[in-house]
Amino acid sequence: MKQHIRNIFHLGVKEIIELAQDKCMIILIIYAFTLGVLVTANGTPDSVTNAPIAVVDDDHTQISKRITDAFLEPIFMPPKTTTMAKADPGMDSGEFTFTVMIPPEFQKRLLSGKKPEILVNVDATRMSQAFVGAGYIEQIIDNEIKKFSKDDSGVESELMTLDLRNKFNPNLVPTWFGGVNQMISNVTMLAIVLIGAALIRERENGTLEHLLVMPVEPFEIMCAKVWSMLVVVLVATLLCVLVVLQGMLKMPIDGSFALFTLGVALHLFAVTSMGIFLACVAQNMPQMGMLFILVLMPMNMLSGGQTPRESMPIWVQDVMLAAPTTHFVMFSQQILFRGAGIEVAWKPFLWLLGIGSVLFVISLMKFKKTATQS
Amino acid sequence: MSFPAQHDGKSVVSLRDVSLRYGKVVGVDHVSLEIPRGILVGLIGPDGVGKSSLLSLITGAHAMQEGDLQVLGGDMRDQAHRTKICPRIAYMPQGLGKNLYFTLTVEENLQYFARLFGHDAPERRRRIDRLTKSTGLYPFLNRPAGKLSGGMKQKLGLCCSLIHDPDLLVLDEPTTGVDPLARRQFWDLIDNIRLEQPGMTVIAATAYMDEAQRFDWLVAMDSGKILDTGTTQEFFAKTGKDNLDAAFIQLLPEEKRSGHTDLVVPPLEFDENEGYAIEAEGLTQRFGNFTAVDHVSFKIRRGEIFGFLGSNGCGKTTTMRMLTGLLPATEGVAKLFGKQVGADTMPVRKNLGYMTQIFSLYVDLTVRQNLTLYARLYQIPEEKVKASVDEVMARYLLNDYANATPRSLPMGIRQRLSLAAAVIHHPQILILDEPTSGVDPVARDLFWSQIIELSRRDRVTIFVTTHFMNEAERCDRVSLMHAGKSLACDTPAQLVKQRGCESLEAAFIGYLEDADPLANAVNQMEKDVPAEKEEKKSHSKLWEKINAFFSFRRWYSCVWRETLELMRDPIRATLALFGAMILMIVMSLGMNLDVEHLTFAVLDQDQSELSQDYALNIAGATRYFNERPPLQSYDEIETRMRSGDISLAVVIPPRFAKDLQGGKKPEIAFFVDGAMPIRANTIDGYVYGVHKQWVKKYVRARYSGEHPPAESTLDIKIRYRYNPDVLTLPTMVPFTIPMMLIMIPAILSALAVVREKEQGSIINLYVTPLTKAEFILGKQLPYVLFSIVSALLMVMIGVTIFDVPIKGSALLLAVSLIIYCFIATGIGLLASSVTRSQIAVLFMTLFGTMVPAISFCGMVNPVDSLPGMSRFIGTIYPTTYMLLISRGVFNKALGFVDLWQPLLVLLITLPIVMFFSIILQKKQES
């Protein structure tokens, strides 16, 4: 037993020393946890920003002017005034996502209570902007009209008020969510790539066979790889949370940091085991890379980090319960954003432990089998 | 400098003061040399002395650095001259089949090379048949090159080199790792070819001094410098030795020779009653139908040095793996010290030292770190680790290198380090798999003296494999292996006596010839029957010039070979054909931006009819909301939202109904989980909508009959165009197609080039008339075709499974997708020109295509609304324009008239990308 632990420890230290010499991987790690996270965080397309809008003003009155001027940055780009004839081609070519048509005699009809009509065209191929953006436009026009007619006696506001609060991220800062999400993808990616590369390199250099001739067991070799890569990625992840997310993106962390660390470790246990499995299936590094794309992309896309889980078909939700990323996304949101504790997070933790153990055993079997065949 | 007798006074190669550096390492150090025409020149010396570097300069594979080099009458710095003489030089790089394609058959390899040199079909057939018949490869024409034995690979490499009648044949260690019979056959073959083409000059590098003896003229090299030149006889005369090994050692500078003495092996003493250290009885290993080791038996005494001889792939390594317990034997028994190697091999392994064929310690750990790790893994107690390490470092003279990493050490020292690691725990059995290949003679002798000391002094049993006959002669007994069988096993002297030969090598060859009559068939070179004198077609000068720059035949041979290789690699082929489709389905399922089935719960503090009606109204919007059990308290909002059970909580205050009716403006509170802003935004929108709806209903009901207050003063009509139901799929399909089609083809084509760089077959670009344009465009076409099929599959899935019809011009979509496939593969090729490792290029293309495609190309935000740099990338990235076309055609029912601009942009992008991907590729190593 003591010798097992000794072997596992020293082989793991060896992995870390080797990794430290590998410039390519170091660059990848640094990129993945700094720029990689920041770029995506800042480019997160959650809310409507800089939406291109055009106004066809056939009224040319005070009110139509006011409406035009009410579309402000950063939600909208400065509105372009255009003509009826040019509005459609503009939408076709994607130049405008929204066009607002103010008909002739709009002000006149409004003042005489004839209920004029404003037509808003929305390019619904731009999914994320279309729906929310249309809502904004509606509100903006409504407000302008009310201000203009000094009429703030809408029925709704007279009857009752609506108090809408966004918990955990009151201003819905999209960078926080995007940042955490990207970090989750990168954690998974790095864990698989690092351990896969380490195993394949060891096999190609013949050092793996050498180890197997020595009084070292495949189980020890695998444990050593798992713990060393787990530690490396875990440290990088924690630094990323502290420096990049908290420091640079100013994200408040509600929950327990220690609990989050534990969860990341569990996740890494599962994905490093998966990395070993992939490395055993692949003959060489490029094959590993291709397998990795086919496995990782679905795992990230369907984890519930990109889009809400509940909106996916039920069978997809069920299948994805077997993917570690699903549970990683769940507990990260619970702990980092919603400040939940172990009373909530035990569920994904247990899942991860289960998935990790199964993957570990399968990988170990595969590893033992492939290690003795060259 | 002496010249051989029989040359005509003209030099084929002339080097003046040539140097070559790799970073700080000097490969070739101010070498001046004249190589005469029509002879067989041998470059002799151990590994890493600059032989290969010198040869790669001579063939033009490596770019010149310093000095002046004339080959076949022209300057090798001159690109035009290199292009001109390229077809006259043949180069066989070091390594077994380095320039071959292993998944291709013998026939296909030869066809490829023959096409590169512009032979037509009947001519190719004639040449291939003639060459393979004379080398004995004819029966194996349909066997994949990777499945040939080492000797056969080398013969195939030679055939590929000779397919175009070169004037200068350059062979870099062609016989390393090949059995003595195959080696002898190889050189016989070269002799035959030279008889037939007396004008041909052959330059061969070798580490085997015995075979160098038959060369016309020798160049001895060490540390990048030339030690001496001359014939074998001249070397013997100069040094007073009678074999080249000894002569070479004599030629080395004094300090390198120091301490070298001729080895003496003391006789083995053993006790008859003592058991055997290693026993094998009928050891057999089968892999499917293939029998790698066939009933091998031997008994080895304690302290004996047992030599195992045979070619690469004859079953030596497999036998050793069975002895160590790495591989369970299919049949037969292996015993170490009388104990059967079985399930529990742990005690056996503690007593075993092992040294593999290739250096198998960690190149990134220092010498001391390596030894410490091995000491620990061999279970030396922690307090003794340092002492053990110090002991072996002193014994194997490693103290000077304690903190160096093996990466930077010469072969000889690495070998000593491996030995030190293998004996650090004082094993009783030492298994050495070709421990000395590539090590210089002095280091080899030093190594053997250490082996002999271990055997005789420490009584370690040594099991060693080797290709060197002089090493085999030092063993107590040797076993000759061939094709999995042990042909003979006895003392070297006895074997020689039994065969009645002069040397062990001759004896071995005798056994081999008996065992395998087929291997014996070194046919005479068939008389070259130039059936009909090749009619030189008189092409115009212009045609020749164009042909030198771009030949369709060479381009086609590239296309043909790449397609074959791709089809034989199932993982790559699957990814090329179906990868995009699979990912498209996944993305379409996952990137569902329709936020639906949001979970909510109500905290109804009023419990009136009105409040229940309000809650029911929300629950009624079933597409959007799924109701969960009601909330009991404010605290519950917190906990249930934390766990992710609900994303929306609705709080209806006490006295809601009364206040509403009494005009007291009650306030309904909504708490939204803001963790996921996209979802929160959508929830906010839904909430306003549902709320408004209820209020309208309430107002109507309440004031029914009476005069209702004005609801609003204007109508805002919102029209969702192109996608009236605002569904995700109709927008995802036109987006995923361009995205997948940039990512996967780029990755595949980039890998295709870098793979050749890593495997070494890129050398064929450097040393054959193949031009960069032919190579790149030839590589590209198969991937373009695969991508077009893949695009077709995606469009079909989009139309059928996802039910997203093509509303606009299908022709426009097809045309632009084809152009786009060319661009995507071109981008991959561009990436390949700046990278060397496959994994680096994989990540580079993955990030380089996916990030811009998702973030900067107008998927979510139009390019015009992006800030600064992102906007610039989006403007120049082709996906932007493909996306415009694909959205236009799928969603907006547009055609050529509306979308000619983006199509034009794609058309302009294509030549630019291709231009750079060709220009940036290198035609020489540098």
pLDDT attached to residue B81: 87
pLDDT attached to residue A340: 80
Side chain identity at residue B232, one-letter code: T
Q: Which of B583, B716, B860 sits opposite A118 (nearest CB)?
A: B716
Q: How far apart are CA B318 and CA B306, in angstroms?
A: 16
pLDDT attached to residue B261: 67
Q: Which residues of B touch A333 (CB under 8 A)?
A: 644, 675-676
Residue B593: band (very low, low, confident or very high) from pLDDT cuts 50, 70, 90: low
In sequence order, the β-bridge partners of residue A162 are B668
Contact A209 B360 (CB under 8 A): yes
Q: How far apart are CA B170 and CA A184, in angstroms?
A: 54
Closest CA to B449 of B259, B176, B301: B259
Side chain identity at residue B765, one-letter code: L
Mean pLDDT of A168-196: 83
Q: How far apart are CA B899 and CA B817, in angstroms?
A: 14
The span from the first CA to the last CA of chain A, in angstroms, equals: 29
Per-residue pLDDT tens digits for B344-385? 677 778 888 888 777 888 888 999 999 999 999 998 898 999
As for the ipTM of the complex, it is 0.77
Q: Is there a contact between A220 and A12 (Cβ–Cβ < 8 Å)?
A: no
Q: Is there a contact between B588 and B732 (Cβ–Cβ < 8 Å)?
A: yes
Same domain, A242 and A176: yes
Residue B525: band (very low, low, confident or very high) from pLDDT cuts 50, 70, 90: very low
What is the CATH number for A124?
Answer: 3.40.1710.10
Q: Is the pLDDT of residue A374 over 60?
A: no
Closest CA to B682 of B590, B592, B804: B592
Q: Is the pLDDT of residue B850 over 60?
A: yes
Q: Is residue A209 part of a domain?
A: yes
Mean pLDDT of B389-408: 87
Q: How far apart are CA B545 and CA B543, in angstroms?
A: 5
Per-residue pLDDT tens digits for B175-232? 876 777 778 888 888 888 888 888 889 999 887 787 888 888 999 888 888 888 888 8
Vertex A123: Cα angle to A117 and A126 (nearest 5): 140
pLDDT attached to residue A130: 77
Q: Which two tokens stand for residue A196?
A: 């896969």
Q: How far apart are CA B797 and CA B793, in angstroms?
A: 6
Whether residue B354 lies within 8 A of chain A, CB to CB, comes out as yes
Per-residue pLDDT tens digits for B659-689? 888 777 888 888 888 877 777 877 877 887 7
Phi-psi region of B848 (alpha: psi -120 to 50; beta: other; left: phi over 0): alpha
% of chain A with per-residue pLDDT over 70:
93
Contact B596 A160 (CB under 8 A): no
Which pairing describes strands B11-22 and B352-355: parallel, antiparallel, or unpaired? unpaired
Counting the structural domains of chain A, the total is 2
For residue A184, how far is the Cα from the chain centroid? 7
Across chain B, what does the average pLDDT equal?
83
Per-residue pLDDT tens digits for B111-170? 999 888 878 888 889 888 888 887 778 888 888 888 777 778 888 888 888 888 888 999
Same domain, A128 and A229: no
Q: Which two tokens stand for residue B157?
A: 């490499």
CATH of segment(s) B277-520: 3.40.50.300
% of chain A with per-residue pLDDT over 90:
22
Lowest mean pLDDT, pick from A88-102, A159-173, B450-464: A159-173
Across chain A, what does the average pLDDT equal?
84
Q: Which of B579, B685, B711 sits opposite A131 (nearest CB)?
A: B685
Q: Is B790 helix (H, G, I), strand (E, B) or coil?
A: helix
pLDDT attached to residue B594: 66
pLDDT attached to residue B664: 79
DSSP B304: -
Within 13 A of B778's CA, how many CA atoms are on the CB side?
25
Residues 301-360 of A with CB under 8 A from B: 301-302, 306-308, 310-313, 316, 330, 333-334, 337-340, 344, 347
User: Which residue would you say has higher pLDDT here, A138 or B918?
Assistant: B918
Domain with A40, as residue range(s), is 2-44+172-371
Q: What residues contact residue B789 under an 8 Å CB cut-off, 6+ apart?
A: B577
Phi-psi region of B597 (alpha: psi -120 to 50; beta: other; left: phi over 0): left
- Choose the final residue of a domain: A93, A127, A159: A159
Residues 548-577 of B with CB under 8 A from A: 571-572, 575
DSSP B105: B
Residue B252 to residues A363, B260, B441, Cα–Cα distance (Å): 53, 11, 10
Per-residue pLDDT tens digits for B248-306? 888 887 777 666 666 777 777 777 677 788 888 888 988 877 788 888 888 888 888 99
Same domain, A79 and A207: no
- Min CA distance, A254 vs chain B (Å)? 11
Lowest mean pLDDT, pick from A243-247, A304-308, B310-314, B509-513: B310-314
% of chain B with per-residue pLDDT over 90:
15
Helix (H) or strand (E) holding A295: helix A285-301
Same domain, A65 and A19: no
Q: Quick check: bond before B328 cis, omega within 30?
A: no
Mean pLDDT of B304-310: 87
Closest CA to B18 of B72, B57, B61: B57
User: Which residue would you say has higher pLDDT here, A44 or B587?
Assistant: B587
Same domain, A178 and A100: no
Q: Is residue A165 part of a domain?
A: no
Q: Is residue A164 part of a domain?
A: no
Contact B714 A110 (CB under 8 A): yes
Query: Which part of chain B has CATH 3.40.50.300?
Result: 11-252, 277-520
Side chain identity at residue B61, one-letter code: A
Residue A1 to residues A4, A220, A326, B374, Cα–Cα distance (Å): 5, 11, 35, 18
Same domain, A189 and A279: yes
Q: How far apart are CA B710 and CA B705, in angstroms?
A: 14
The correct CATH number of B598-702 out of 1.10.3720.10, 3.30.920.30, 3.40.1710.10, 3.40.630.10 is 3.40.1710.10
Q: Is B531 helix (H, G, I), strand (E, B) or coil?
A: coil
Mean pLDDT of B648-653: 89
- Choose the final residue of a domain: A128, A159, A190: A159
Query: Which part of chain B has CATH 3.40.1710.10?
Result: 598-702
The correct CATH number of B11-252 out of 3.40.50.300, 3.40.50.1400, 3.40.50.720, 3.30.1300.10 is 3.40.50.300
Q: Which residues of B531-555 are buried (b: 16+ CB within 10 A; e: fewer)?
A: eeeeeeeeeeeeeeeebeeebeebb
pLDDT attached to residue A34: 87
Best B676, B686, B860, B896 residue to mutate vs chain A (most A CBs within 10 Å)? B676
Mean pLDDT of B764-773: 86
Instruction: Say if residue A170 is exposed, middle or buried (CB neighbours under 10 Å; 0-12, 13-18, 19+).
Output: exposed
Q: Is the pLDDT of residue B613 over 80?
A: yes
Contact A52 B865 (CB under 8 A): yes
Whether residue A370 lies within 8 A of chain B, CB to CB, comes out as no
DSSP B267: P
Q: What are phi and psi of B917, to 5 degrees?
A: -70, -25
Q: Which two tokens stand for residue B584?
A: 């498209």
Whether residue A140 lies within 8 A of chain B, CB to CB, comes out as no
- Min CA distance, B34 vs chain A (Å)? 39
Whether residue B834 lies within 8 A of chain A, CB to CB, comes out as no
Contact B688 A162 (CB under 8 A): yes
Same domain, A332 and A289: yes
Q: Is the pLDDT of residue B38 over 90?
A: no
Length reported for chain A: 374
Same domain, A12 and A71: no
Contact A311 B350 (CB under 8 A): no
Q: What residues contact residue B53 under an 8 Å CB cut-off, 6+ apart?
A: B20, B27, B28, B62, B224
In sequence order, the β-bridge partners of residue B89 are B168
Mean pLDDT of A69-79: 84
pLDDT attached to residue B1: 41
Q: Is residue A167 part of a domain?
A: no
Q: Is the pLDDT of residue B443 over 80?
A: no
pLDDT attached to residue B389: 93
Residue B4: band (very low, low, confident or very high) from pLDDT cuts 50, 70, 90: very low
Q: How far apart are CA B876 and CA B432, in angstroms?
A: 58
pLDDT attached to residue B540: 64
Lowest mean pLDDT, pick from A258-262, B526-530, B575-579, B865-869: B526-530
Same domain, A229 and A309: yes
Residue B206 to residues B95, B158, B213, B438, Cα–Cα distance (Å): 12, 15, 11, 10
pLDDT attached to residue B373: 93
Helix (H) or strand (E) holding B848: helix B838-851
pTM of the prediction? Answer: 0.80
Residue B486: band (very low, low, confident or very high) from pLDDT cuts 50, 70, 90: confident
Contact A161 B572 (CB under 8 A): no
